[in-house]
Amino acid sequence: METVALNGVKVAESPGGIEGAGFFATSLDKAVGLARKNSIWPLPFATSCCGIEFMATMGSHYDLARFGSERLSFSPRQADLLMVMGTIAKKMGPILRQVYEQMAEPRWVLSVGACASSGGIFDTYSVLQGIDRIIPVDVYVPGCPPRPEQIIDGILNIQKLVETESLRRRDSEEYKAMLNKYGIE
């Protein structure tokens, strides 16, 4: 996150705009993007080992709070980012999808690790071979398991998407068509 020091306190850098004596003007998209980017509330959907890496990511050494994401949400309705970490059995697929559907727009999805992204080493009848078979994914984090640095890299990539997303995207025909492909209204 780009920050600037203000009276010894680090604050997020303001977006580009027009500045003059006593005023600063920017677009609504950029102001909303800045606020959203730095206040992402993740919902951790952790089923196995990758979840342990996420716990390390939340600890004081890696400290996800630096990115405004220290407030985890275990209620889908109060979450912006669904983080899927671990092996997802096919039986669990409908539950994951229900959690996604209960999240309010705008929502993003981060697939953490090989299992969530592709089934990983579990190329077997009972394991979902990638969560993007049932819900759309915005960013994939590779690794088995990914290190906390990689999970943070994934969050930073999500932040880039969040910051630059048009306020009209969620109402666009393209976005609705993408959801329809998954059978989501």
- CB under 6 A: which stretch of 16-24, 97-105, 110-118, 147-155 binds ligand SF4? 110-118
Residue numbers 11-40 binding ligand SF4 by CB under 6 A:
none
Rule CB under 6 A: choose which of 144, 156, 167, 178 binds ligand SF4. Answer: 144
127 in contact with ligand SF4 (CB under 6 A): no
Q: In the complex with ligand SF4, which residue's Cβ is closer, 64 or 115?
A: 115
Rule CB under 6 A: choose which of 38, 39, 48, 157 binds ligand SF4. Answer: 48
111 in contact with ligand SF4 (CB under 6 A): no
49 in contact with ligand SF4 (CB under 6 A): yes
Rule CB under 6 A: choose which of 86, 130, 148, 154 binds ligand SF4. Answer: 86
Q: In the complex with ligand SF4, which residue's Cβ is closer, 32 or 46?
A: 46
Q: In the complex with ligand SF4, which residue's Cβ is closer, 116 or 162?
A: 116
83 near 51, Cβ under 8 Å?
A: no
> HEC string of the chain?
CCEEEECCEEEECCCCCEEECCEEECCHHHHHHHHHHCCCCEEEEECCHHHHHHHHHHCCCCCHHHHCCCCCCCCHHHCCEEEEECCCEHHHHHHHHHHHHHCCCCCEEEEEHHHHHHCCCCCCCCECCCHHHCCCCCEEECCCCCCHHHHHHHHHHHHHHHHHCCCCHHHCHHHHHHHHHCCCC
145 in contact with ligand SF4 (CB under 6 A): yes
Residues that bind ligand SF4 (CB under 6 A): 48-50, 86-87, 113-115, 120, 144-145
